[in-house]
Amino acid sequence: MAEKVLLIVDDNVELAMTLARSFERRGFRSVVVHSTESALERAPIDRPYGAVVDLRMGGASGLECVRGLINIDPGMRIVVVTGYASITTAVEAIKLGACHYLAKPVNADDILGAFERTSGTTDVEVADRRSSLKNHEWERINEVLVETDYNISETARRLGMHRRTLARKLAKKPV
């Protein structure tokens, strides 16, 4: 049987190396890179079965990484992980080709389980509480940020708010 290769794309070196060791103990070969650009260079060489992609990294975002990896190999299984989860980025990741989206903290078992899931499930708990106005505002801000490729000035203009107001909101709760 051919060796399964996993590409780990995360600018947090310590977390990436910890995941790599965990995957290797489970029989995978791990390739660790710390940027979207490096991932897109390595993917054609290593031909990974799957990729674990952090959403927020210095340089191009994890969403750009997902798009690029899917262009290289449309069958690649990609799990996006993030400490900044939002409905908007989850939807965009799936639309771009990710098979799953997980909020940090995550471990190798969570990620491997996500790789193996090929369909949705109905046993996900549906919350009883309504979303707050602040959450609606935050989701809208994230949605427009994605639409503008994270351009703060353009996002503020589209939302009809001053750029400094948007910057303050983002400083309180980073994207």
pLDDT, tens digit, 9 for 90 and up, residues 127-175: 455 556 666 677 778 778 777 887 889 989 998 999 888 888 877 655 4
What's the gap between Cα 79 and its chain centre?
7
pLDDT band at 124 (very low <50, low <70, confident <90, very high): very low
pLDDT, tens digit, 9 for 90 and up, residues 107-121: 888 899 888 876 555
pLDDT, tens digit, 9 for 90 and up, residues 26-46: 999 999 999 999 999 999 999
What are the structural domains, with CATH classification, of the chain? 5-116 (3.40.50.2300), 133-172 (1.10.10.60)
- Arithmetic mean of pLDDT, 50-63: 89
What is the DSSP code string of the chain?
-PPPEEEEE-S-HHHHHHHHHHHHHTT-EEEEESSHHHHHHHHHHH--SEEEEES--SSS-HHHHHHHHHHH-TT-EEEEEESS--HHHHHHHHHHT-SEEEESS--HHHHHHHHH--S--S-SPPPSSPPPHHHHHHHHHHHHHHHTTT-HHHHHHHHTS-HHHHHHHHHHS--
Q: Which two tokens stand for residue 175?
A: 């994207």
Q: Which residue has the higher pLDDT, 132 or 100?
A: 100
